[in-house]
Structure 1
Amino acid sequence: MADTAKGARHRGIARRAAGVAAVAAVCAGLTWTALALTGTPADSKAPAAAAAACSYTATGGGAKGLGLPVHDPARARPYRAELVTEQGKVVIEALTEAAPCSTTSFAFLAGKKYFDGSTCHRVTTRGIFVLECGDPAGLGTADPGYFFPDENLDGATYPAGTVAMSKAVPGRNGSQFFLSYADPDFRMQPDWTPFARVVSGLDVLRKIAAKGTEDGATDGRPKEPVVIKEVTVRRPAA
């Protein structure tokens, strides 16, 4: 996702949202697609086999010495993660049963301090309403050094409070994710793995979004920088 990919990805999400809002035909090859808003991420259940088969494929990029996550179904436990930003704290609850591979990866990266000091690089204020984060450089081009397949997509929806993996290529999830701060204006295709839900801090996300983007567009870098100071994973006592 270098500059060219970044530009295509940004244009893709903007054109898709605008097209659906205008009741236009769905255009192939764009990142965001229109879909339904019924149920919640927690309603989706992963097939039993998926819980035992998480694969992380090295890309050769990413931070030096970061390594790969290791998912152990026998030791997987639900957890909450606190995302402390300069504009407030957001707490998310991981859907470890429905999205074991994504939640293992997120906890792994948080434990490596991968997200600490990173800047959320996109906010959208029309059609879809999300804050996108997960790139240490704040460019939307991050590669943590590995990717993993999609999961938990059967019946997936993206209402307010959804936390889902963000990607430009199907089946290549890495470190980037988005947090929905309001229900989309249209039905989104189940293309992005929901792996957590916001349990507190939705007001923080809405406050960030209310300030808009740097250039006043409906899709772009937040007007005020959103820096994730730290991400702390808190697991319940065994």
Structure 2
Amino acid sequence: MPSNEQRRQAAKRKLERQLTRRAERAKRRRIWGVSITVMVVVAAVGLVYWLVNLGPEEGEAATNPTDTPPAENTTDGACGFKEAPEEQSEKKPGLPEDPAETPSTGTVKVLLKTSQGDIPVTLDRAKAPCTVQSIEHLVQSKFYDGTTCHRLTSSEGLKVLQCGDPLGTGGGGPGYTIPDELPTDLKQGPAGPDGSPSVIYPRGALAMANAGPNTGGSQFFLVYGDSTLAPNYTVFGSVEAPGLATIDKVAAGGITPGPNGEQDGTPKLPVSIETAAVQ
């Protein structure tokens, strides 16, 4: 039979266990209370953020006139010439006329009088109506007068003279871009190392230079020897025989090498377009 001291010790231990359980329950209640409070605050902050930043879904028009993004500066006709104000040039020809139906038949004769001789070319509306519309506009605006042909290449697969940059650096343009009108009738060339297609731009072809899709402006290249390129350059006409003779003379004069190697640089015989005129 337990003594009084044993009963007191047993009662004390029982009381200590009860106090410990009560403390643990109180601690759990405090933890749950803090957690719930934090979740409520986070939810409230998230709701406020969502309401403040609520806007139209991607592709939907904004309903607040002050939030409406500015429209792209493009012409309203069939070609949709697009302004490129980032281009730096003192020549400002403005945008070409852009009728609802761009003329797509007939040719335009243009004479490039250069420091190395005449280069007559024929622009073909059927090949690239928007490009011809733009080039004729630039010629009539005297945009090409006083510009240089800044690049000559002479490699086995690329023989071109590039002109039309008002800066003479390869980075200038008319302040707008022309949509691509890519050729579909050129002879197929060998596939690239990665299997990419190529075509042959034949001797006498007149084509637009560009820096990527739909970035053509005023720069063009005159092909004096069959050249293998990706089909990414608009062909908009041809170089006449007297013009090819002038370019052959320039090519025979050699190249001052540029960063792309000995066969790509500036012509040693400087070529400047003194005047360009529709005939």
Task: Give the structure-2-normalised TM-score.
Answer: 0.61
**In 2, are the aligned partners of 1:167 and 1:176 still within 8 Å (CA)?**
yes
The amino acid across from 1:172 in the alignment is: T
Residue aligning to 2:113: 84
Higher gyration radius (CA): 2
**In 2, are the aligned partners of 1:63 and 1:145 still within 8 Å (CA)?**
no
Structure 2 CA distance, aligned partners of 1:125 and 1:64? Answer: 30
- Alpha-carbon distance, 1:63 to partner: 4.2
Structure number with greater CO (CA < 8 Å, separation at least 6) is 1
Change (3 A) 1:107 1:210: same
Structure 2 CA distance, aligned partners of 1:131 and 1:74? Answer: 29
The amino acid across from 1:71 in the alignment is: D
Alignment of 1:63-212 (within 5 A): 63=90, 65-72=92-99, 73=101, 77-126=106-155, 127-156=157-186, 157-184=200-227, 187-200=228-241, 201-212=243-254
Structure 2 CA distance, aligned partners of 1:75 and 1:175? Answer: 19
Structure 1 CA distance, aligned partners of 2:211 and 2:239? Answer: 23
- Alpha-carbon distance, 1:66 to partner: 2.2
Structure 2 CA distance, aligned partners of 1:229 and 1:105? Answer: 20
Please give the secondary structure, in 2, of the residue aligned with 1:217.
strand
**In 2, are the aligned partners of 1:155 and 1:190 still within 8 Å (CA)?**
no
Structure 1 CA distance, aligned partners of 2:236 and 2:246? Answer: 20
- The aligned length equals 181
Alignment of 1:20-31 (within 5 A): none
Structure 2 CA distance, aligned partners of 1:159 and 1:65? Answer: 33
Identity between Structure 1 and Structure 2 (%)? 40
The more displaced of 76-85 and 192-201 is: 76-85
Change (3 A) 1:125 1:202: same
Partner of residue 58 from structure 1, selected from 70, 75, 83: 83
Residue aligning to 1:40: none
The amino acid across from 2:97 in the alignment is: V
- Alpha-carbon distance, 1:155 to partner: 3.2
Task: Give the structure-1-normalised TM-score.
Answer: 0.71
Change (3 A) 1:213 1:199: same
Please give the secondary structure, in 2, of the residue aligned with 1:228.
strand
Structure 1 CA distance, aligned partners of 2:126 and 2:98? Answer: 12
> Which string of whole-angstrom CA distances, capped at 9 and with x for unpartnered residues, describes residues 114-140 of structure 1?
110101010001121000000122111
The amino acid across from 2:80 in the alignment is: S
